[in-house]
Structure 1
Amino acid sequence: MSSEILFLTGFLIFILIILAIDLNMGKKSGGVVSMKKAGLMSFFVVALSMGFYVVLLTYGHHLHGIDSIEKLQSVITKHQHPVHIIPSDLEHSIKLYNQNLGLEYLTGYIVEYALSVDNIFVMILVFSAFGVAERNYHRVLFWGILGAIVMRFIFIFVGAALIAKFGWIMYVFGAFLVITGVRMFLNRNENEEIDTKNHPVVRFANKYFKVHHEFVGQKFWVTVDGIKKMTPLFLVLLIIEATDLIFAVDSIPAIFSVTKDPYIVFFSNIFAIIGLRSMFFLLAGIIDKFRFLKIGLAALLTFIGLKMILHHQLADIGFETSHSLIIIVSILAISIITSLLFPQKKKERKLKYDQDNDDHIRH
């Protein structure tokens, strides 16, 4: 068995243990997650993510079984790591490689974690539109994240294979991210809505499955008069999965702008995803206070897209992963700090609330 398979298997077992612990905690609390518990869980997941960063700094070279200068050079060339090795000093070269690997992971993690915030906006809309009870949030998000892990695995490794074979795809991804960033900026003030009757997932489910029209506790499926039917709770789960699939189209190419190593993309992606649920419960009630966050995310996507398009030119002038990390953190920090320093005025909040209510009544 290769070192990559062993590393990946150990990582997946570790993640499954974390999810099992979280599922057990959810059952004990009846599915309702308090702000305190969400805060503790968020801290725990972030701490684990930073712990994995330290693991990469120390043992990152074991991921690809690097044990010689030749192997190290091969891996650097294959994944286009911006590392300059010292041919006569394997130990120091490995140290430089591990430092870069850790930095790529950390940058990818921050990018994915930041973009996940936009996912939370949509999750709140979905739960609200379908009238999901708060005690059922945890169950839906747990299975939603489990499904997201499987989808991300497929997306990332297929994407890596395509990039390795067709280098020009990086320019396509870059252009797509720039367009997405510009659209997000232009549409930042629009009120997003979920049409519970005409949503594509709802139409698909009604066409191919028997759908029960009432929630039945925490059940996803229920048997009525001998007929097995999908409950609205499972319908919500499908919409959450479909939403994550759409967001993956943005976030995965974004991380490929940081590193071409699919394992590092996967590790950073998954740690951000498992932290998404606790972040949802932590931010659900206050996310509207970050009024400039959409602008920050739009700027983030635009920067990453331009970086993918101009990656050769940036490499020529010595632009490194550390520079990307500084710019990304700065964009996010400015959008959050600006939101806190210049909060939405009460009159503006009331006007927005009235508009939302009018839209809800019309629909």
Structure 2
Amino acid sequence: MDVPAHVWVLTVVGIIAMLAYDFFFHTRKAHVPSLREATLWSSLYVGIAVLFGLGVLVLGGATAGGEYFAGYITEKALSVDNLFVFLIIMSSFRVPREDQQKVLLFGIVFALIARTVFIFIGAALINQFAWVFYFFGLILLLTAGNMLKGEVGEEDAHEDQNIMVKLARKLIHTSEEYDGDKLFTHVDGKRVLTPMLLVMVAIGGTDILFALDSIPAIFGLTQSTYIVFTATAFSLLGLRQLFFLIEGLLERLIYLSYGLAAILAFIGVKLILHALHENNVPFINDGEHVKVVEISTALSLSVIIGILVVTVAASLLSKRGRAKTAIGNARRHVRDYLDLDYTADVAERERIFGLLMKEGQQIRALGPKYRAMARDETSLMEQIDEARRQHDELVVKPARGE
């Protein structure tokens, strides 16, 4: 798919304009996005991505359109998985709720820059060395194996085990408290770094690690640099709003990692088959092409959608998933409610308390087997009791005039 220079320029300008609009009209003023705002803008960005894909389909043909949608869906799924880590980082650093939008927008911009660099490096390598397909395929197979291994062996891994969080805390010394979304503040007359910089470093470093997996994955679906770039960019746009929309559902997608592992393994096999078909490596078949079956774009798109539908449906229908989600969300919400620095918005604190009570009802409705999962969380139950006591002291009794 040959793309003229002016189309590249217009595309890049359009993406930058959307990011600038997002900053100046949404995240510049610190606030907690409402559900309506998050839903509206998430839908808008997905709609823009779909319309762009339809344009590729009409102007570039069925193959280019199929490659774009396969790449976009894969990258979007990987981006949702990335939100788990963003949630861990912001929870670990106790980022104030009102300032989380700017952190996420920084993560999106940095991810786009990092992935663009990797895209052009990958494209240059593919044009020069056919063996790169073997390398990319191996990376994806190893990544899929590691995802399965991590899911089985570290299912309940603690948030502080995140490597970028540890490195950021070890290398950068900051003030104890945040000063809004500022990177610098003054303590005892001295200019010092704030924890916000730690968060930026942790998310930026994590974005680079994400790019090492996602770029080989999309190059396994298309070798068009333009399609790789646009599918990646549109998968990242709207990720900030999506975070606030599905934040409560993230822990419920208990089988998503299995689905992503299957997708990455499938694309890895596809890459290796393509590498064999284009083979010029001397010690494989004497440097001659190997006659193998290549996986079509239509089949790739069907497999990717099918795997995601099955894994998401299984996650949402699983009682264990509902229990784990309720317990995980309760753990996060009770900690947020008891942390007075988490938000200065009274309505937001009431919203968090309401969610906490709703999660308790969900756990009780799941039956004795799953209620036992919550009872095993001794510290969680104690914290919930403390949250009820504080809410009673601060809201209920004053309302009664006591």
Under a length normalisation based on structure 1, what TM-score does the superposition of the two structures give?
0.80
* Aligned positions of 1:103-122 closer than 5 A: 103-122=66-85
Cα displacement string for residues 279-332 of structure 1 (whole angstroms, at most 9, x for unaligned residues): 111111111122211111111111111111122568853531011000000000
Any idea what SS the aligned residue of 1:298 has? helix
1:274 to 228, 237, 242: 237
Moved more, 5-14 or 27-36: 27-36
2:373 to 347, 351, 354: 351
Quote the Cα distance in structure 1 between the aligned partners of 2:374 and 2:203: 25
Moved more, 262-271 or 272-281: 272-281
Q: Identify if the C-alpha distance between structure 1 residues 316 and 357 changes in structure 2 by more than 3 Å, giving closer, same or farther.
A: farther
Q: Identify if the C-alpha distance between structure 1 residues 335 and 27 changes in structure 2 by more than 3 Å, giving closer, same or farther.
A: closer
Quote the Cα distance in structure 1 between the aligned partners of 2:39 and 2:132: 39
Q: Which amino acid aligns with 2:87?
A: I
Q: Which amino acid aligns with 2:314?
A: T
Quote the Cα distance in structure 2 between the aligned partners of 1:43 and 1:274: 11
Aligned to 2:30: 30
Any idea what SS the aligned residue of 2:172 has? helix
Aligned to 1:338: 314
Q: Identify if the C-alpha distance between structure 1 residues 140 and 350 changes in structure 2 by more than 3 Å, giving closer, same or farther.
A: farther
Does the CA-based 8 Å contact 1:26-1:32 persist in structure 2?
Answer: no
Any idea what SS the aligned residue of 1:212 has? coil
Q: Which amino acid aligns with 2:227?
A: I
Task: Tell me: higher relative CO, structure 1 or 2? Use CA pairs within 8 A at least 6 residues apart.
Answer: 1
Q: Identify if the C-alpha distance between structure 1 residues 226 and 40 changes in structure 2 by more than 3 Å, giving closer, same or farther.
A: same
How much does 1:137 deviate? 0.7
2:166 to 189, 199, 203: 199
Q: Which amino acid aligns with 1:306?
A: V
How much does 1:214 deviate? 1.6
Rg larger in structure = 2
2:108 to 118, 128, 145: 145
Moved more, 240-249 or 343-352: 343-352
2:295 to 319, 337, 341: 319
Aligned to 1:49: 49
Q: Identify if the C-alpha distance between structure 1 residues 340 and 100 changes in structure 2 by more than 3 Å, giving closer, same or farther.
A: same
Aligned to 2:225: 262
Aligned to 1:88: none
Q: Percent identity?
A: 36
Any idea what SS the aligned residue of 2:319 has? coil
Quote the Cα distance in structure 1 between the aligned partners of 2:161 and 2:303: 37
1:124 partnered with 2:87: yes
Any idea what SS the aligned residue of 1:194 has? helix
Aligned to 1:298: 261
How much does 1:21 deviate? 2.3
Moved more, 343-352 or 225-234: 343-352
Q: Which amino acid aligns with 2:169?
A: V
Does the CA-based 8 Å contact 1:31-1:139 persist in structure 2?
Answer: no
Quote the Cα distance in structure 2 between the aligned partners of 1:52 and 1:157: 21
| Gaps in structure 2 of 5+ consecutive residues | 278-290, 324-365, 384-402
How much does 1:357 deviate? 5.8
Q: Identify if the C-alpha distance between structure 1 residues 303 and 230 changes in structure 2 by more than 3 Å, giving closer, same or farther.
A: same
Q: Identify if the C-alpha distance between structure 1 residues 30 and 309 changes in structure 2 by more than 3 Å, giving closer, same or farther.
A: same
Quote the Cα distance in structure 1 between the aligned partners of 2:183 and 2:172: 13
Quote the Cα distance in structure 1 between the aligned partners of 2:76 and 2:41: 15
1:212 to 169, 175, 190: 175
Q: Which amino acid aligns with 1:325?
A: L
Does the CA-based 8 Å contact 1:289-1:343 persist in structure 2?
Answer: no
- In angstroms, what is the RMSD of aligned CA positions? 2.6
State the aligned residue count.
317
Q: Which amino acid aligns with 2:170?
A: R
* Aligned positions of 1:79-118 closer than 5 A: 98-118=61-81
How much does 1:142 deviate? 1.1
Under a length normalisation based on structure 2, what TM-score does the superposition of the two structures give?
0.73
Aligned to 1:134: 97
How much does 1:23 deviate? 2.0
Does the CA-based 8 Å contact 2:185-2:191 persist in structure 1?
Answer: yes
Q: Which amino acid aligns with 1:194?
A: D
Q: Which amino acid aligns with 1:34?
A: S
How much does 1:343 deviate? 2.8
Aligned to 2:284: none
Does the CA-based 8 Å contact 1:291-1:343 persist in structure 2?
Answer: no
Does the CA-based 8 Å contact 1:38-1:279 persist in structure 2?
Answer: yes
Aligned to 2:396: none
Cα displacement string for residues 93-128 of structure 1 (whole angstroms, at most 9, x for unaligned residues): xxxxx2211111111000000011211111111111
Moved more, 140-149 or 103-112: 140-149
Does the CA-based 8 Å contact 2:111-2:211 persist in structure 1?
Answer: no
| Gaps in structure 1 of 5+ consecutive residues | 61-97
1:310 partnered with 2:278: no
